[in-house]
Structure 1
Amino acid sequence: MISFICITCGTQFPPSSSPPAHCLICEDERQYIGVNGQEWTSREEMISSNKYKNKIIEEEPNIYSIVPEPSFGIGQRALLIQTPNGNILWDCVSYLDQQTIQYIKEKLGGLSAIAISHPHYYTAMIEWSQEFGNIPVYIHQLDKQSVMRPDKCIEFWNGDTLDLLNGELKLVCTGGHFKGFQVLYWPRRQILFSGDQPQICMDQKQVSFMYSYPNFIPLNARKINHIMKCLQPLDFDRLYASCKMSGIKGVIETKAKEIVEKSAKRYLKAISDDNDD
């Protein structure tokens, strides 16, 4: 029995004797099936190929990015956040080997929990949870139908916000890209971890919001306004995205909230019927 992984999006499926017939994540209009059709791999195959490794980078004190090399799936990265109340993995990646596990346990203090912004980053979350002691994986209830590999470690939650690690971090459900899309907020450090909503643009003084990034499907004004309403109470100066696109570091280092607010106004103007530019 193998837990097959979709090569295009990186999502892992439950153990089976043969690959699934479909990847429902890729067949959704927000994603796509690769040019070679539906292809599968597995954690075991990725490790035995000796092709991949996880590069662990200290972005700033207590924040580490975990980036598979070469890039896999849609280019996801995970962020490990160290707090006095334990460490959390924000978003997830498909590749996990013993070297990564050992480094996190021995050098970074292990993991206490996992939280994931939306289904495009669920990847191998169950494997990560199991390797670190069946730690909880926090996902919003509204995205339950997009979990391709159910497991008892997943803790679905309802509502608008959820405190994690004794209040050190906070999940905020904003909707938009997915109904249960959530961001992670670190009040003490004034940092917002946004997944890819908002996503940092090539001009890193701007961010944007999309229903589908690869298929260029925008969000409507109602959803943008709701996202901004959810973010308004959060006092953040820095913003980390979960994909490092070409030429983009993946972090807005200062004035992030101001940039997000200006970008939202620009976006709303662009999609307005009154925009004559």
Structure 2
Amino acid sequence: MDLSVSVRQCEICGVEYDSASLPDVCPICADERQYLAEDRRQRWVDPADYTGRIEVLPAEPGLWSVRVGGGPGIDQQAKVIVTEAGNVMVEVPASMTNDAVEAVRALGPLRAIIASHPHMYGLQSLWSRALGDAVVYVSSLDREWLGLTPASVAFWDGEIELVPGVVASQPGGHFPGSSVVHWAGEDGAGVLLTGDTVAVNPDGESLAFMRSYPNRIPLSSSVVLRIADHLERYEFDRIYGNFGRAITHDASARLRSSAQRHAAWARGDYDELTGPG
């Protein structure tokens, strides 16, 4: 594992920073969408100190999950899409081991790394360097949140094809540049990787749309419907979130119904169900 880059990471969110210019407090955690340590003390950790285990496991044909055990950060799961034109890592682990790098390398050449939003930046510079300087795609609208700019960075807006058949776009919402990644899947039915733009609920059947998930800040009805309209450009049967949950069938219809439900509650359509006041 190449740790020659001078990197430290926030213990709470796991995002990488240049150790030569560490801020007094991690701005990602100080933002209303995230949170600071309970004692409000900022702690920076060295990625080289991680001693846990990272597993690279199949999610479905052509799609793999990278699951990190312990360590800094919020425990996001990266996904690796495997294609004949090269592979794409969606979301970035906040830890790294030699074994995990070798397991991802064994899936084929990695062409692109993309985080859906700043909470998912993880150790994107180190993963890129370890995997042949894969291009790290960062939404232009969210570049201000970079604590360390990867050497192989590409800023982008709108929609971009990462490799043939794998497309990213920016519906926004959670962050201005919040992104999703679409892939047809080996069966052609369509897969959408949504990050926190759209989150799979614990029931496995519905989805949530939030400015902040841990701090329970909702998005407006108009923004939620805008996101749903944006995603209708894609055909997809399955949705994978970034924390291990998935909707395994009828995902497009479930996304639309979830957006309509959110919008209705936000408009006050069901206020009579909340009690007399």
After TM superposition, the score normalised by the length of structure 1 is 0.91
Q: Does 1:176 align with 2:173?
A: yes
Counterpart of 2:16? 12
Choose which of 234, 243, 255 in structure 2 pairs with 1:260: 255
Q: What is the letter of the counterpart of residue 213 of structure 2?
A: Y
Deviating 4+ runs (over 4 angstroms): none
- Cα deviation for residue 21 of structure 1 reads 1.5
Aligned-residue offset at 1:2: 4.1
Preserved CA contact (<8 Å) 1:5 1:11: yes
- Could you tell me the percent identity over the aligned residues? 30
Q: Hey, what does 1:221 align to over in structure 2?
A: 221
The equivalent of 1:234 in structure 2 is 234
Cα contact 2:71–2:95 (8 A) shared by 1: no
Distance 1:155 1:89, change over 3 A: same
One-letter amino acid of the structure 1 residue matched with residue 254 of structure 2: I
Letter in 1 for 2:30: E
The Cα of 1:196 is off from its aligned counterpart by 2.0
Q: 1:19 to 1:115 in 2, by over 3 A?
A: closer
Cα deviation 1:25-60 (Å, max 9, x = unaligned): 0011100002143222111122xxx3x111111111
Equivalent residue number for residue 134 of structure 2: 135
How many residues get paired?
264
Q: Which is further off, 181-190 or 231-240?
A: 181-190
Separation (CA, whole Å) in 1 of partners of 2:177 and 2:22: 28
Task: Give the aligned partner of residue 157 of structure 2.
Answer: 158
Is the partner of 2:194 in helix, strand or coil? strand
Segments of 5+ residues of structure 1 without an aligned counterpart are 245-249
> What's the CA shift for 1:19?
5.1
SS of the residue corresponding to residue 112 of structure 1 reads: strand
**Cα distance in 1 between the residues matched to 2:217 and 2:130:** 37
Give the match for residue 25 of structure 2.
22
The TM-score with structure 2 as length reference comes to: 0.91
Amino acid at match of 2:265: A
Residue aligning to 1:247: none
Structure 2: which 5+ residue stretches go unaligned? none
1:274 CA drift (Å) = 3.5
Distance 2:77 2:71 in 1: 9
Distance 2:166 2:177 in 1: 18
* 2:116 aligned partner: 117
Q: Distance in 2 between matches of 1:11 and 1:124?
A: 6
Deviations 1:69-94 (A, max 9, x none): 02641121100110111011001011
Provide the rounded CA distance (Å) in 2 between the counterparts of 1:218 and 1:79: 26
